[in-house]
A and B are shown apart, each in its own frame.
Chain A
Amino acid sequence: MKVFIEPENKEIKLTGKTKTVLGLLNKLNLRPTQALVIRNGQLLTPDRRLYPDDNIIIRPVISRG
C-alpha cells in the first residue's frame, strides 16, 4: 500500500499488517480527527478496510499561521 502525506506528499510504503484506516492513523501517530484519509477521491472513516494495492492520501487538518 502506498501512502502520501500532505502537504509535502511524503510517500511511505506499508506492508501487510495495516488492515484498517484506524490502524494506519495509529501508525502515523494521528488521532482520527487530525487528518482526512482519502482513497480514489473518497473520504474514509476509521473503520474502513484497506487493501495492499491501495493509494491513500493523508491530509492533516491542523492549520498554521
Chain B
Amino acid sequence: MKCRRCKKQAVVALPGHNTAFCAECYLLFFKRQVEKAIKDHKLLTQKDKILVAISGGKDSLALAWQLANLGYDVTGLHIDLAIPGSSEQARELTTSFCKNFNIELKILEIKNEGLAIPEVKKRIRRPICSVCGQIKRYFFNKFALDHGFTVLATGHNLDDEVARLFSNTLRWDTAHLSDQGPLLPAENGFVRKVKPLYRLTEFETANLCYLVGIEYGFAPCPYSTGASFTYYKRLLEELEFKQPGRKLQFYEGFLNRGQKGFKLLEQKQGQELTPCPECGYPTSEELCGICRIKKVMEKI
C-alpha cells in the first residue's frame, strides 16, 4: 500500500477511512482528527488551562502529547491508585513520559485520601471498578476546580465511546444518552470535560504512540474483569470489519441527530443535584458518594 498523500510506502492502513499513510502523513492525519473534534464541538481554546487525566495507558499519553504538540497549555494529573502489580508501572511510565516530552505533571496519591483501592475493595461491596471509576472522576474534577483549571481532558477514544453508546442504547438509558458526548459543559460543581480523541480508534492511538516513541503500559489491573465493554468492543470490531467506518458514523450520527431527543426527555424528568454538605460535590443524595465511602473507610 502507498501513502494516500505522498505515495511513499504506507505504514498504517485505515480501512475505516478507506486510506493508508506513511509515518509522517499519519501524524498529520491524527493531528487533524483531533483539531476537527476540537473545532466541531468547541472543546478547547488556546486560552484554556487544561488538566489532562493521565493513566499511563496509550490513550491518555497520546492525548497529552497531541495537545501539547498543538501548543495548548497542558498539565497532566496522574492518580496513583495504590493497586499492587499495576499502579507502580503506570506511575513510572507517566512520569518518564512527562519528563521526555516536557509536560508538567501532578501526582495525587489516593492512599493519602484514605482510599487506597485494595482497602476500598475490602470494605465496599459494590463492584470495585465502578467504585474506582467514581473515585477517579471525583478527584480529577476536584483537582481541576481547586487548582484553577478551566477544563479536564480525558483520553476516551472512539472505541470507548461507541461501546458505551451501544451499551447505553441496549439499556435505553435515557439519562446517560442525554449527556454522552465529547463535551460536558461546566456546571455548578463540575468542571468542563472534553474528549478530544473521540474520533480516533484504539488502533489509531496505538499507532500514534508507536510512531512518536511513546512507551505505554500493558500490565492490566489485577481487578480488571474484562467485562461487558470488552465484549461490546469485540462485537463492534467485527461490525467495523464488515462495514468499515461504521463506528464513527454511528457515533457522529448519534451526536448530530440522536441525542437531542434524549436531552429534551431528561430536562423533563432529570434529577435535581445539590452540593454535598461535607465537600460541595454535586449529588442527588444527602451525602455524596465519595463522602459516604470515606465514612465507611473511617469506621474501624
Contact = CB atoms under 8 A, between A and B. Distances in A.
B11 A45 contact: yes
Interface in A12-41: 31-34, 36, 38
A58 to B, nearest CB: 12
B134 to A, nearest CB: 16
Interface residues of A, number: 20
A64 B57 CA distance: 9
B241 A62 contact: no
How many chain B residues sit at the interface, stated as a range, is 20 to 34
A38 to B, nearest CB: 8
Contacts of A46: 13
Contacts of A36: 206-207, 210
A34 B210 contact: no
Interface string B95-107: 0000000000000
Contacts of B86: 65
A34 B202 CA distance: 8
Interface string B114-155: 000000000000000100000000000000000000000000
B11 A44 contact: yes
Contacts of A34: 203, 237
A50 B182 CA distance: 40
A31 B241 CA distance: 7
Interface string B1-29: 10000000011110110001001000000
A38 B221 CA distance: 26
Given A34-B237, A47-B1, A59-B206, 9 more contacts: A43-B12, A43-B210, A44-B11, A45-B10, A61-B58, A63-B202, A64-B221, A65-B129, A65-B221
19 contacts: A31-B241, A32-B13, A33-B240, A33-B241, A38-B210, A42-B11, A43-B210, A45-B1, A45-B10, A45-B12, A47-B1, A47-B13, A59-B206, A61-B202, A61-B203, A62-B202, A63-B59, A64-B220, A65-B86
